[in-house]
Amino acid sequence: MHYFNSVAETLALCEVFNSDRANSAVALKADLLDPQASSQLVTSLAAQWGRLDALINNAAVFHATPLSDATPAQWDTIFAVNLKAPFFLSQAAAPLLRSSAGCIVNLIDVYAERPRVEYAIYCASKAGLIGLTRALARELAPLVRVNAISPGAILWTAEATPAEQAAILARTPLGRAGEPSDIAGAVEYLVNAPYVTGQVLSVDGGRMIVD
Q: Which residues of the chain have pLDDT under 50?
A: none
Query: Is 90 inside any structural domain?
Result: yes
Query: Is 160 inside any structural domain?
Result: yes
Q: Could you tell me how far CA 196 lies from the centroid of its own chain?
A: 18
So what's the pLDDT on residue 159?
Answer: 86
Count structural domains, the chain. 1
So what's the pLDDT on residue 198?
Answer: 98
So what's the pLDDT on residue 211?
Answer: 72
Determine which helix (DSSP H) or strand (DSSP E) holds 107, and give its type and residue range. Answer: strand 103-107
Query: Is 170 inside any structural domain?
Result: yes
Instruction: List the catalytic residue out of 3, 111, 119, 122.
Output: 122
Instruction: Kindly report the pTM of this predicted structure.
Output: 0.95
Query: Is 14 inside any structural domain?
Result: no
Query: Is 84 inside any structural domain?
Result: yes
- C-alpha–C-alpha distance, residues 16 and 155, integer Å: 22
- Domain of residue 146 covers 31-209
Query: Is 10 inside any structural domain?
Result: no
So what's the pLDDT on residue 166?
Answer: 96
CATH classification at residue 94:
3.40.50.720
Query: Is 2 inside any structural domain?
Result: no
Is 122 considered catalytic here?
yes
Query: Is 11 inside any structural domain?
Result: no
- C-alpha–C-alpha distance, residues 179 and 144, integer Å: 28
DSSP state, residue 112: G
So what's the pLDDT on residue 158?
Answer: 86
